Structure 1
Amino acid sequence: MSYEQITLICIFAVLLGTLVWGRIRYDIVSFAALLAGVVLGVVPAREAFSGFGHEATIIVALVLVVSTGLSRSGAVELVTRRVIDSSHSITRHILEIGGIGAILSAFMNNVAALALLMPVDIQAAQKAGRAPSATLMALSSATILGGLITVIGTPANIIVASYRAEMTGTPFAMFDYAPVGLICAAAGIGFIALFGWRLIPQRSGSSAITELKAIEDFVTELVVGPKSAAIGQTVRDLLAPADDNDVSLIGLVRKGRRLPGRALAEEVGEGDLLVVQASTEALNRFAGAMGLDFQGKAGTAAPLSSDMSFAEAVVNRDSRLLGRSANDVQLLRAYGVSLLGISRNGRTIKQRVRRTPIQAGDVLLLLGNSESLGSVMARLDCLPLVTTATVTDHSKAMLSIGLFVGAVMLSVLGLLPLSIGLGIAVLAYVFFDIVPLRELYDAIEWPIIVLLGALIPLGGALETSGATALIAGGLAGLTVALPGWVALTVILVVTMMLSDILNNAATAVIAAPIAYGLATALEVNPDPFLMAVAIGASCAFLTPIGHQNNLLILGPGGYRFTDYFRFGLPLELIIVVVSVPAILVFWPL
């Protein structure tokens, strides 16, 4: 083995280990690995940032913007509003919402598809009187499976298609994935609807969201007496001592009239009433510290002003809140929202809420201005579960769909590359204000872009150094005496196992060159092996960390780590059983 091969294998080993460890975000790890490759001389400095201009990276960014446009225009709502009925049985409900989720995921980012349908599923579960855990995992899996159908369904498909273009001069076309992807999606959703949902524990009792809303009961009024330390201070000045005592200041009442919003700029005077929200213990601490009196017993409700509302949001794995508490980020002062409760794995946290470090998958109960809550949740990288203040202009729904379909058709007919077609669609979205210019870059999931930009040159170096051929040769030696379908199955299963612990885009970057090298060593058609990588990289159902959709349902569904394995193992086995024959039929060795 050469110096380059040994160094690159060591870099990837450390990279994989750090990603599995999960303490450092994947984009930072990937970028550090790229810089290490340049410093150690195994990645040419002139090619270090070539991945950021790679077509796969550009397409992923454009697909994310298009997904936002389809969401904002109400195109998805037009479909779900007419199809979803909470009175249907669980099996029928899963077939309906899972089918819609799969179709959406074929043409837009599957995380965006889940974000759109998750509130619909939760509300349907509440109306039907069942726990959201009964169907959320099914919906998440359906949106993942739908991504198998087209080249833009998931970043892994885009990466595999681009790698094929580098090796053969021709990428996988828009619907080359469809024959195998449709079979896998149909088999997977059919299993989930008939049997799979029964493997998920139906935890009794109120949902996490219902429990969080129960915190509303601890709203009361504290009287500012003549000796109170609050006199002469503005409501904003009182935020710090309120936070220190785990209390939310949500308003001010003066002479029997509730002032608009939080009245943060108002100076507190004798006889005013501070509207606060907290536990009884926190209320007592705050009242004692500030010399306040009780207007009534804790639990006496003070009506919220008309411009204030509650919202539930689930924390994304890229959120700036991760590992930090509400006090750490000064949530109220910086963003104008209060954190009233946290639900984690179905358990509601009500004590010292604003000092509790936030984790990915947590469900947060927020209180803030109705008009700004949606934009605040977007800035914090949180997905709204019920309430969102984003204005939807339904008049542009058909226009957004038409522009997207036009871009796809230009690619399918071979008139323009997919990246150019999507680029034209994005420009049209901005021109017609489907995606406002101020939100254009917010629509892009930048950690994914950094991940791809960093790993693509590393993957190229792994291949040019001969390390990929070395690994592929080892696999070929193990399977050379066996039928070709066995080697294909090995690639599929190994890729699937990697994807259960790694980001699917990272898995595709690593596995595609190895699969191509194995096919070359066995002297067979590489296309079925690349197709196996695309299927395996996306089908991560065993853990909440394997796919972002799995993580997003963790809190709202109240799931535990073992729930994923119990549900995901038979689903992954079914995908292996149906996909290998399908690949061999449509992409012969």
Structure 2
Amino acid sequence: MIDAPNLHAIGAMIVTIGMFVAFARGRMSTEIVSLLTIAVIAVGLYFFPMPHTQPTDGLALAFSGFGHYALITICALMIMGRGLVVTGALEPFARVLESVFKFNQQVGLLVSLVMAFFLSMFVNDTPVLVLLLPIFVSMAARGGMAASKTLIPLNAAVLIGGMGTTIGTSTNLLVVSIARDLGMPQMNVFHFTPIVLTAALVALPYLWLIAPRLLGDNRTEDLHVKRRFVTRLRINEGSTLTGQELATVMPRLPAEIEFHDRPAGKIQTQERLTISGTHDAIEEAMRTLKGEVAPAWVIDRIRKESAEAREDIAVVEMTVTADSRLIERTLPSSGIADLYGVAVLGIHRPKKLLGDGDDAAQLGEMRIAEGDVLLVMGLPEPLQAFARADSLLILEGMRELPRRSKAVLAGGIMLGSVGLASIGLLPIAISALAGAILMFVTGCVKFDRVGRALSAKVIVLVAASIALGRLIGDTGAAEWLGQAMSLGLQFLSPAAVLAAIMLFVTLLTNFASNATAATVGTPIAFNIAQQLGLPPEPLILAVLFGCNLCYATPIAYQTNMLIMAEGGYEFKDYIRTGVPLVLLMTVTLSVLLVVTYQM
């Protein structure tokens, strides 16, 4: 028999169950539940401190998450991810992967899952996901598969791959080192890789075919049809259009692009073609065809002023009001570029204003009318001056263009940070923080825009989970649970013992931390093996695998929290997809351990 848990351990278990239930029900926001959890821990330990501690020690424990290295690491990784997005550093990779998704979305997802799985076998889980996360978010923004349907499966593939080698995660190294201290032989890098590869043959099909169907599409749907802008594409030297028939180039362009004056023969340099399409489609066509939709001199002027002022170039939609001087003027006669230093990229005319004589092919002669929408590019201050002076109403917030001049720099900073952490030269916390600082210093991320990179929901959730993990460990709740479990295992078969140990460690890792689960579970598994006369290695591996089955809650692992804001996930999304995966992996890995070690 074991003694009953102390009152603080009972309290820790009650708080854990209460937080889980509150998250699962979803009636209160994640932020409120997290803050209430911190408050309960702080107040409870202040008035009922643990033995040999002061009331203020309880407050320090409750709020320790806000200064914890894990939270600093996550915030730094978010900032570096933001740097890759705003500089467009990952656009080439995103376009390659996007082409696979365009060929077939299911094939694209499978390729991504397999790639993430094998990468994480040799590189720490967090850097792998940090590299892939902005690519998938960028693809979703460009009309690809919704991020909410891909990020949880992608994260799970990374976690499964991470448990395939001893160097895949720091938790694997911790379990192996503890086992070595207990007297077990040293495990080599690929000691248990065949078991994980076999389990992946079961898990990856679930992540590929089933998990995305369990997740909703969290993209914000536009309440109106996207505006189509008419513009004049200028063919520059070196354009892929030069000397080619238009029909040979059309398959490479977005489907939304339409040509209104198709040339009869081959396209020549400096030729102007009238096209129409959405804003995103026009930008993609400009990149593909290496052309411009505004006079080159004003584009160069805007870019020069942007570099000198260290301000981002923005694109904004403005509608022409009844008081505007632009009414009845054409773009060439308006003098907009000379007066304000901004470029009009295109004109959208609402259908109700289109007359029988209107023709997109006559853009140069189209007279601006009340209600027209102009797509304008420039620096923020000139854009505001243009809107005020010419009585234009800004319809949508400014959309900043990627700072592509810093794309290589941002990519280098990210690769340097990931590389230093991957080879073990620096901890991920230090390398990520250094990378975030470099992003600020070099201007890849503006300091006043850092709020866009961070998520308040993730920050308070991380802080609450760290405090709860410390509470479970310091009160002895984790140790008591392990002792209670060991009493009943003597009546089970070896396969059931393995499954029970794995489930117990999985429970700890999803609500406490991987380190807690490894520290508590490894010696318990070793002692159980000695008491029951079982080989210790498969039980130790059951602990190692269980520490990595952290799919069921967002608080289980830092990569789970990294994808939470980008995917727009709720707590229930992790439960819906994670619990079946945990059960599937537990059964599969238990059977494989029994077969491998002939138990």
TM-score range, shorter chain: 0.5 to 0.7
Aligned pair partner of 2:476 in 453, 456, 466: 466
Q: Distance in 2 between matches of 1:531 and 1:371?
A: 46
Task: Identify the residue that residue 41 of structure 2 maps to in structure 1.
Answer: 34
Aligned pair partner of 1:92 in 90, 99, 107: 107
- 1:528 equivalent to 2:541? Answer yes
Task: Identify the residue that residue 257 of structure 1 maps to in structure 2.
Answer: 326
- 1:305 equivalent to 2:379? Answer no
Q: How does 1:186-197 map to 2 (within 5 A)?
A: 187-193=202-208, 195-196=209-210
CA deviation vs aligned residue, 1:427-472 (integer Å, no higher than 9, x gap): 3333333334444565444544444444445433433433222221
- 1:80 equivalent to 2:94? Answer yes
Aligned pair partner of 1:481 in 485, 491, 499: 491
Task: Identify the residue that residue 519 of structure 1 maps to in structure 2.
Answer: 525
How far did 1:397 drift? 4.9
User: CA RMSD for the aligned pairs?
Assistant: 5.6
What TM-score do the two structures reach when normalised by structure 2? 0.53
Is the 8 Å Cα contact of residues 528 and 588 (structure 1) preserved in structure 2? no
Change in 2 beyond 3 A, CA 1:123/1:582? farther
Residue 491 of structure 2 aligns to a residue whose secondary structure is coil
Aligned pair partner of 1:396 in 403, 406, 409: 409
Q: Distance in 2 between matches of 1:449 and 1:162?
A: 26
CA deviation vs aligned residue, 1:87-141 (integer Å, no higher than 9, x gap): 523432222344456659934484884454145257565xxxxxx57x9635541
Q: Distance in 1 between matches of 2:573 and 2:423?
A: 45
Q: Distance in 2 between matches of 1:487 and 1:197?
A: 28
Task: Identify the residue that residue 117 of structure 1 maps to in structure 2.
Answer: 136
- 1:13 equivalent to 2:24? Answer no
Q: Whose helix fraction is larger, Structure 1's or Structure 2's?
A: 2
Change in 2 beyond 3 A, CA 1:73/1:574? farther
Aligned pair partner of 1:106 in 125, 137, 140: 125
Task: Identify the residue that residue 212 of structure 1 maps to in structure 2.
Answer: 223
Is the 8 Å Cα contact of residues 98 and 189 (structure 1) preserved in structure 2? yes
What TM-score do the two structures reach when normalised by structure 1? 0.54
Is the 8 Å Cα contact of residues 152 and 563 (structure 2) preserved in structure 1? yes
Aligned pair partner of 2:153 in 126, 138, 141: 141
How far did 1:35 drift? 0.7
Q: Distance in 1 between matches of 2:411 and 2:129?
A: 21
Change in 2 beyond 3 A, CA 1:487/1:13? same
Change in 2 beyond 3 A, CA 1:211/1:159? same
Structure 1 unmatched runs, 5+: 126-131, 218-248, 260-274, 278-299, 310-335, 337-365, 373-388
- 1:368 equivalent to 2:396? Answer yes
- 1:431 equivalent to 2:441? Answer yes
Aligned pair partner of 2:73 in 34, 50, 59: 59
Change in 2 beyond 3 A, CA 1:145/1:305? same
Is the 8 Å Cα contact of residues 149 and 212 (structure 2) preserved in structure 1? no
Change in 2 beyond 3 A, CA 1:202/1:435? closer
Residue 90 of structure 2 aligns to a residue whose secondary structure is helix
Change in 2 beyond 3 A, CA 1:307/1:535? same
Structure 2 unmatched runs, 5+: 229-317, 330-347, 351-368, 379-386, 388-393, 530-535, 555-559
Q: Distance in 1 between matches of 2:595 and 2:445?
A: 42
Change in 2 beyond 3 A, CA 1:165/1:437? farther
Equivalent residue letter for 2:125: A
Identical positions, percent: 14
Q: Distance in 1 between matches of 2:79 and 2:215?
A: 36
Q: Distance in 2 between matches of 1:444 and 1:551?
A: 9
Equivalent residue letter for 2:476: G
Task: Identify the residue that residue 319 of structure 1 maps to in structure 2.
Answer: none
Change in 2 beyond 3 A, CA 1:215/1:439? closer
Change in 2 beyond 3 A, CA 1:461/1:92? closer
How many residue pairs get matched?
420
Q: Distance in 1 between matches of 2:75 and 2:192?
A: 22
Equivalent residue letter for 2:223: L
Instruction: From the CA coordinates, give the structure whose radius of gyration is larger.
Output: 2
